[in-house]
A and B are shown apart, each in its own frame.
Chain A
Amino acid sequence: MSKKQHYKITVNGKEEEFLAEPRELLIHTLRERLKITGPHIGCETSHCGACTVTVNGKSVKSCTVFVAQADGTEITTIEGIGSPDALHPLQEAFKEHHGLQCGFCTPGMIIRASKLLEEIPNPSEEEIRFGMAGNICRCTGYQNIVKSIQAAAAEMNSAKEAAE
C-alpha cells in the first residue's frame, strides 16, 4: 500500500480536503468519501457514462480518473446544477418528457447534456445523439432523452433571449 496523500478538490463549489491513496478512483472519492452519490457506478470500465462529472470544464468518466490526477481541480456533479426546489432546466425537461425510466443513467446523462448545451446551445438531433454517445441507457429510453435535451435547450435559449 502506498502512503496516503493530502488532496484538495472543489466539488460543487465546496472545497474538500482529505487524505487518500493516489490510486483511489474519483468516483469512489465522490461517492464513498464525500457522500456525493449522484454520480453512479454502472460499468466501472469507462463505457457507460453513469459516473460522468464535469472536471475543469470537461465531461469526464470519474471511474477512469485517479484522485491524484484530480487534485486541485473543480468538479461539478448532478448535485451542483440544481436542487429539488430549483431544478435545472435539463432536470425539469427530463421530468416533463419522461427522459428517464429506471433513472440509473440520469445523473450522468444530465451532467453530460449540461456540458453539451454549453458547447452547442441549439443542437440538432444528430448532434445530441453524437454528443451523448458516451452515455448508455439500458432501459434504452434514448428517444425521450433526446426530446428532453431538445426541450431544455429551447427553454434555456428563450430564457437567455428574455434576459437580453
Chain B
Amino acid sequence: MIPAAFEYYRPKDMTGVLSLLGEHGDNARVIAGGHSLIPMMKLRMADVPHLIDLQGVGGLDDIELSANSIRIGAMVTQHDIIDHNGLASAAPILREAALQIADPQVRYMGTVGGNVANGDPGNDMPGLMQCLDATFTVVGLDGERDIPARQFYEAAYMTAREDEEVLTSITMLIPAGGYAYEKQKRKIGDYATAAAAVLLTKEGNTCKSASIAMTNLSDIPVYSEEAGAALVGSSLDDTAIKAAVTAVLGDIDPSEDNRGPVAFKKHLAGVILRRAIERAWSRA
C-alpha cells in the first residue's frame, strides 16, 4: 500500500498554492485532510506527482456565524462541525450529518471542503449543501468566484471547479424550520446506500417550503426541486409524501454495486426520504 512517489509542498499562503497549481497543472492536487485522496493514492488509482498540502495556509479553518448566515472554511473538519455548539444551534442539520460520516478518527482529519470539492458521489456533504442552497467560493489566479452547490457537480469527481482553483469556503443562510439528514449504511464508516437531506418550514399545519436532496443515488448529488414542490402547500399527508417520493425516484439514477441492485436502492431511497420528511416535519 505504498503510493507512487511525489513531490510534497506546504505553502504558507494561498498565493503559493495557486502558483504551484499554475506551474504543475493537472499533475498537482491539493490535499486537505487526505482521507479520500490518500487511500486512492495508496491504491494507485490517483497519481499525484505534486502534492500541495493546505495545512500551512492560514484562514481556512474558521467557522463564522452572523445574524443570518454561516461561513465555513474549507479546512474545517467534520469533528470541528460536531464540536461547535453555536453552529449546531444555528444549523443542527450540519452536526446531524457530520455525526453520520465515517468514524471518529476520520472525522478529526476529514474536512468539509475536501468532502464537497472531491466530487465523490458517496460523500454526504454535497447533497446536504444542495439542500441548504449553500454557495462554494473558489479562488484561482484570476481571483475568487462563487458557485452555487446546486450547480457545482457535473459528473462523478467532475465539478465546476477548474484544476487551477482551490475551494476556500462554504457560505449559507441560516436555515429555518425542521431538518433531517437520514442515512442508511451497512456499517459505521460506510458510505450511504441511500441518504436524504430535508429542510421544511410550516405555517399552521401547512408546509410552506421544502428542500430535498439525495446522496449516493446518482453519479452526482441530486437536488430534487419537484420533490420539494410536491410537499409545499400540503399538510404532509400520505399523498403528498408519496408524490415527493415519486418525484425523487424520477430524479435519481442509482447503479448496482456491492450495496445492492438498482431496484433495492430505489426502494430504499423512498424509505429513507419518507423517514427524513417525517422527522423534519416533527421538528418544524
Contacts and interface: CB of A to CB of B under 8 A. Distances in A.
Contacts of B55: 69
A29 interface: no
B79 A58 contact: yes
B104 A63 contact: no
Contact of B3 (A23, A112, A116): A23
B105 interface: yes
Contact of B109 (A22, A58, A131): A58
B1 A21 contact: no
A134 B109 contact: no
Contacts of B10: 68, 71
Nearest to A22: B8
A25 B3 CA distance: 9
A1 B2 CA distance: 12
A159 B53 CA distance: 42
B4 to A, nearest CB: 7
B187 to A, nearest CB: 9
Interface size class of A (residues with CB under 8 A): 20 to 34
B35 A23 contact: no
A45 B38 contact: no
A133 interface: yes
Contacts of B8: 2, 5, 22, 66, 68
B7 A22 contact: yes
A40 interface: no
B39 A46 contact: yes
Interface string A1-31: 1100100000000000000011101000000
A60 B105 contact: yes
Nearest to B188: A133
A21 B189 CA distance: 30
Contact of B104 (A2, A5, A45, A131): A131
A48 to B, nearest CB: 10
Nearest to A56: B108
Contact of A112 (B5, B38, B102, B105): B105
Interface of A: 1-2, 5, 21-23, 25, 44-47, 49, 52, 58-61, 63-66, 68-69, 71, 112, 116, 130-134
Given A2-B8, A23-B41, 5 more contacts: A23-B2, A71-B10, A133-B104, A134-B103, A134-B104
